[in-house]
Structure 1
Amino acid sequence: AAGTHYLAGGAEKPLQRSVERIEIAGEPTVEHVVLESEWGPVMPQKAPAGQAYVLRWVAHDLAGTNFRLMRMETAANVDEAVQLAAGAGVPAQNLMLADASGRIAWTVIGAMPKRVGGEDMARPQDWSDGRSRWEGYLTASEQPHIIDPADGRLWTANARMVGGDALKLLGNGGYDLGARAQQIRDGLRAQDKLDEAGLHAIQLDHRALFLQHWRQLLLERVLTPDFVAANGLADYRAEVEKSADAARPDEVGYLLVRSFRLQALKSLFAPLAGLLEANGLKLADLPMVPETPGWALIQAARPDTLPASFKSWPELLQRAVLDSRKELVDKYGSLTAATWGADNPTRVRHPLSAAVPALSGWLDQASQGMAGDSHMPRVHNHGHGQSERMVVSPGHEERGILVIPGGQSGHPMSPFYRGDHAAWLAAEPLPFLPGETTHRLVLRP
């Protein structure tokens, strides 16, 4: 019966109904009805008529909620750590390992389900006949891992680490675009012998390698002499030519190329975004990175894939230039004032400052335009950035580097509240190990 039963193993079973009561001070109690199947709760998302979605989630199983992570503290080497990682009760994520002998490894930490049946686990599955299902969890030997790669280098940058059968085991949890990982990889491989200073330099790399094909597109195909002359874009083209090689805070050209790319992709995917929004979704809900299909569509320039609101592909790209330029000039007053630093300041704010703005100058850390962006090693994108820069070799902690925004104290009146922030802003290395003790705080009963 619709809404009360479901099919499992070819048989009809009743949904289990429970009521969650939420008590609210001074207001009526809210009752939330939860329907449960053997796989998990029925979700409120829209579904085709007569159907519903059920959430199958690792966190609902005992295998996904345990304290196995604590045993990592006593792992003697990377082999032991890789064994312990499989089945640890944490959300699945990249795990990078190194031990004092110089061995390194990558794996996924967390319980990973063993999926059976179903060609595409990124889509809703029909589990009613039992052919598609989870059959327990992957063992340590089954969980993908890389131990002691031949070139002695590993990197992740939240990107996809494996392909083929290993990728089928993991699925797509929303990998980052591979540009940042590639730049880190190339930085690692460019050094025959790695040390702390060299690795710290890679963390600070803000060269705009990812945007160079968009810059080339602008200069070679979009900013034609006639288009530039007709729209007064000589200053625009000059900035793109001279200052788009890196995400430096004082550069205009980088922001111009970046804004052009975002506007071009927005225009290109506007029909799809509109369709999704009409169904209560958004483009970001799709498990894809717009860059890859977007760039392929622009390069192919097929008339049948051009959004209906444009007469030609050159018009779409030229409109992206004009619209993104207008937005920046409206925001900053002039093109020369539209620097990347003006658009990308630090925002290290105390939780209370938003509620009490008058205290923000006392509570918040100093702000300035920052180098870096997404898709490059030095991540800093409109308030989102590196939470710390750490380089340390096991057994050689005295040579390590640790730089954090803010300071060691959480009290605004402490001299250590902002102690390390200036070094973080200036990209200066600080020692990983603590120095001599200058103060002691004793807690007495």
Structure 2
Amino acid sequence: MHKNMKIILALLFFIFVMAITISILGYILINKSLPDYQAKVPFPSLSEQAEIHWDELAVPHIYAKHDLDLFRLLGYAHAQERLWQMDFFRRAGAGRLSEIFGGEALETDKLMRTWGFAYIAGQIADSLSLESKRALAAYSDGINQFIEINSSRMPIEFSLLGYKPEQWKPVDSIVIQRLVAMRLSLAWHVELTFYRIAAKFGVNAAAEIFPDFPSSPQKLGDLLVGKERMLANIQKKIHSAGRLAGWASGFAASNSWVVSGAKSASGKPILANDPHLELSAPCFWIESHLSSPTYKVAGMSIPGIPGIVLGHNKSIAWGFTNGMVDDVDFYFEKIKPGKIDYYWDENDWQKFSFRTEKIDIKDQRDPVFIDVRHSERGPVISDVHPLLNSDSTVVTIRWTGASFSDDVLAILQLNRAENSDDFTRALQHIGAPCQNITYADKEGNIGFQLAGQVPLRRDKKGHLPYRGWENKGDWLRSLALKNLPNSWNPRSGFIVTANNSSIAAGTNYYLSNAWEPDSRARRIHQLLLEKEKFAIKDFQNMQMDEFSLHAIDLLPVLSKNMDVQKLSKTNRQIWQLLLEWNGEMDEVSAGATIFNHLYIHLLDDLFKDQLEPEIYHEFLRWTNIPIRAMENLMANPNSRWWDDQQTTDRERLPDILLRAFNQTCEQLIENYGDGPGFWEWGRIHRFTLRHPIGQLPPFDYIFDRGEYNMGGSAGSINKAEYRFFKPFAVDVGASMRQIIDLNHPELAYTILPGGQSGQPFSDHYDDQITMWRHGQYKVVSMARDSLHSSVARIQIFTPD
């Protein structure tokens, strides 16, 4: 017994020692990568000593005596806070995820290599302006200096995946910029989905649920019926790649509005901006303040890209919303019999150009080689899998992002612009993605301009794939900036952009059909008419507004078409609750819960009987199309789409509404409880900040944050969007909020849905999330004396 006790005690002591050892090692591993915000850092390539002052929320205020030193320190700061995120972005774009994730990433890499982001970036890099090349080189130098002196202190993701970061090259930044451009494009998805539905039901029927298509749509004969599966597989490949490459949602929307001094309490313009992206950990943006002889600018930057993308200097402020432009076309190409390297181009056989891509795979000795064929228009995207092609037909893709543009130069010129002329000159260099860019300056001017490459197609359409051997789909040129939608100093005293249609009456070119519903834009417009003068606090309240005009617009239509006598007593009471609801999608609203459940059931009862599951899934993927489809069909209660194909009766809107509402009531009571007190919207409408490695349990406990309750909806200013095929998990929201009053252009009111750091054990990984959720803001000042000595932490960088 005594001997057994000794063994037990020895075992317990061993376990205790091991636990202490593991804890110590874990602590060292976790903390060794966290930055020292008060370090003295050697940086031989600097021209002179420079400093970064870090505020209490880890916003870097970078002070340099030379412009290129400024970009060196920005690169260092980005790497210090977000190096693994930056490396992940460049690998995702370049098709190199297999090197760290293994074979499961191979299909994603094949797609990215075929699309050719790294290939495109290499061509762009060679033709950039000298100014852009120098800024990119300096920025890369800063990243590499961080990697060199912190080689044993890398973020934990590198240790978990067992690799070290390579040196940063300027082309890596261009890869990321083009990856972001692709992420913000909706056109390819809409085009493929419309094609698949039109091929089955005809163009006219499809146009009922895809509003705003050209008035003279292509005929069904143009669709090359029988190629649906080829395009369906391409669509599936792109979305599968997105899940692994970090944009599972892929959707991007935004709000921005600006008022003139006439409507501002300060007497100067005020500008607000909140881009809507997939909510993630770490955040998409990193905030920075840059100060050098030429640059005095602050705002949001993208990790991996030099400069401030959204922000302000001491003269102007600007914001972005997605232009929703159709910047992609697909082409069926006719292949020469027995000659896969030739395709027919209107009058003659043309030879594809070829490039070979080598993909290395983790834990596999032999790499995979793929051959990519290029037509005059672009790569053979159907080559991502040989089974997607037929002997006679392949599919190529043309995208504006494959054309040259010096978007880095646009950022640099925006950062130092002093007036509207400087601003407009900077926009000339934007290629992809197309953005609506709002503007305000200290002289009192306000405006907006759509900027980016917009293709002018020969047939002025572009909403369906083309026959490559005809010339209808040729891109003749890009439209000039001055011919794109814009507005300057309107009589109303304000400008609103919220991804709604910006096409003016009489426009004779095709821009897009993928607009967001106009409910957010109309709500902003409505609020801007309610007061004579606005202050910062008013704009903060507006950015958190959760009222749904979309829902309120539908309630009278629903009321008109509901046969209340056919409802049970309980369901009639629930129906009355819905009709009395005020349209607020706040966290405690039961009406919001009833409405959103009813909406899902209406969609299902409308389309599930007619659309195959896979097509229906793609139709629901991004909410703007099904919401606009529902608006159209509510105005047409006798549309063929209301008829349930699984019954012998002819159903119309009232029949489907009754069925959907009964299903809604049953679900509410069964899932949440008997009574509206259990149906608070925020209890079921929730979000999680997800990290790419968090997809692999148990790492989600380390890297992810949440779940959190959330109000709002896809149609509210405070956007909180869930995918209709995955209710009610929020994917998309405000990726940042920023407000600038040009009466004090050195100040910005900002917030992020997370924090500045990309390291999950840092205090700054998620120290802004509570403020973001509750509509609170921090104030970031460009004034050097604004950082109190008790708060500021200073890194000093010396060239010796």
Bin the TM-score by the shorter chain: 0.7 to 0.9
Name the counterpart of 1:160.
Answer: 501
Deviation per residue, 1:61-100 (Å, 9 max, x gap): 2237663332222222123312321342441122111112
CA distance in 2, matches of 1:218, 1:136: 46
Name the counterpart of 1:124.
Answer: 465
SS at 2:561 equivalent: helix
Q: 1:56-135, aligned counterparts within 5 Å? A: 56-63=398-405, 67-113=409-455, 115-130=456-471, 132-135=473-476
SS at 1:26 equivalent: coil
Does 1:38 find its partner at 2:376?
yes
Q: 2:752 aligns with which of 384, 400, 404?
A: 404
Does 1:50 find its partner at 2:392?
yes
Bigger CA drift: 182-191 or 344-353? 344-353
Distance 1:354 1:223, change over 3 A: farther
What TM-score does the superposition give when structure 1 sets the normalisation length?
A: 0.85
Question: Shift of residue 136 of structure 1?
Answer: 3.2
Residue type at the aligned position of 2:626? P
Q: 1:324 aligns with which of 664, 683, 689?
A: 664
Name the counterpart of 1:390.
Answer: 738
Bigger CA drift: 130-139 or 115-124? 130-139
CA distance in 1, matches of 2:658, 2:462: 39
Q: 1:14-413, aligned counterparts within 5 Å? A: 14-27=351-364, 28-44=366-382, 50-63=392-405, 67-113=409-455, 115-130=456-471, 132-164=473-505, 166=507, 168-172=509-513, 174-222=514-562, 224-229=564-569, 232-274=570-612, 277=615, 282-284=618-620, 289-302=625-638, 304-305=640-641, 306-310=643-647, 311=649, 312-313=651-652, 314-336=654-676, 337-349=678-690, 355=696, 357=698, 360=701, 365=705, 367-381=707-721, 382-397=730-745, 400-410=748-758
RMSD: 3.3
Question: Shift of residue 331 of structure 1?
Answer: 3.5
Question: Shift of residue 183 of structure 1?
Answer: 0.5
SS at 2:395 equivalent: coil
Structure with higher helix content:
2
SS at 1:121 equivalent: coil
Question: Shift of residue 363 of structure 1?
Answer: 5.8
CA distance in 2, matches of 1:8, 1:285: 34
CA distance in 2, matches of 1:4, 1:412: 49
Distance 1:284 1:366, change over 3 A: closer
Deviation per residue, 1:210-232 (Å, 9 max, x gap): 11233334444326033233xx3
Question: Shift of residue 185 of structure 1?
Answer: 1.4
CA distance in 2, matches of 1:400, 1:35: 48
Q: 2:772 aligns with which of 395, 415, 424?
A: 424
Name the counterpart of 2:795.
Answer: 442
SS at 1:17 equivalent: strand
Contact 2:342/2:349 (<8 A) preserved? yes
Show structure 2 runs of 5+ residues with no match: 1-335, 722-729
Residue type at the aligned position of 2:423? A
Contact 2:758/2:765 (<8 A) preserved? yes
Contact 2:485/2:504 (<8 A) preserved? no
SS at 2:382 equivalent: coil
Contact 1:75/1:81 (<8 A) preserved? yes
CA distance in 2, matches of 1:47, 1:120: 26
Contact 2:517/2:624 (<8 A) preserved? no
Q: Percent identity?
A: 19
Distance 1:334 1:272, change over 3 A: same
Question: Shift of residue 440 of structure 1?
Answer: 1.0
Contact 1:69/1:90 (<8 A) preserved? no
Distance 1:97 1:70, change over 3 A: same
Question: Shift of residue 351 of structure 1?
Answer: 5.3
Question: Shift of residue 18 of structure 1?
Answer: 3.2
CA distance in 2, matches of 1:72, 1:216: 46
Deviation per residue, 1:179-207 (Å, 9 max, x gap): 11110111122222222122222112112
Question: Shift of residue 237 of structure 1?
Answer: 2.4
CA distance in 2, matches of 1:317, 1:139: 47
Question: Shift of residue 108 of structure 1?
Answer: 2.0
CA distance in 1, matches of 2:452, 2:483: 13
Contact 1:273/1:283 (<8 A) preserved? no
Question: Shift of residue 43 of structure 1?
Answer: 2.3
Name the counterpart of 2:9.
Answer: none
Bigger CA drift: 151-160 or 288-297? 288-297
Bigger CA drift: 177-186 or 134-143? 134-143
SS at 1:258 equivalent: helix
Deviation per residue, 1:221-252 (Å, 9 max, x gap): 326033233xx314422432444521011121
Contact 1:21/1:32 (<8 A) preserved? yes
SS at 1:422 equivalent: helix
CA distance in 2, matches of 1:145, 1:193: 24
CA distance in 1, matches of 2:426, 2:594: 47
Report the count of equivalent residues: 438
Show structure 1 runs of 5+ residues with no match: none
Residue type at the aligned position of 1:40? G
SS at 1:63 equivalent: coil
Structure with higher strand content:
2
Contact 2:609/2:646 (<8 A) preserved? no
Deviation per residue, 1:24-47 (Å, 9 max, x gap): 233343232211111111221868
Bigger CA drift: 175-184 or 214-223? 214-223
Question: Shift of residue 341 of structure 1?
Answer: 0.5
Q: 1:10 aligns with which of 341, 344, 347?
A: 347
CA distance in 2, matches of 1:359, 1:288: 30
SS at 1:44 equivalent: helix
SS at 1:247 equivalent: coil
Contact 1:390/1:401 (<8 A) preserved? yes
Residue type at the aligned position of 1:213? D
Contact 1:118/1:125 (<8 A) preserved? no
Deviation per residue, 1:243-265 (Å, 9 max, x gap): 45210111212111122123212
Bigger CA drift: 174-183 or 71-80? 71-80
SS at 2:483 equivalent: coil
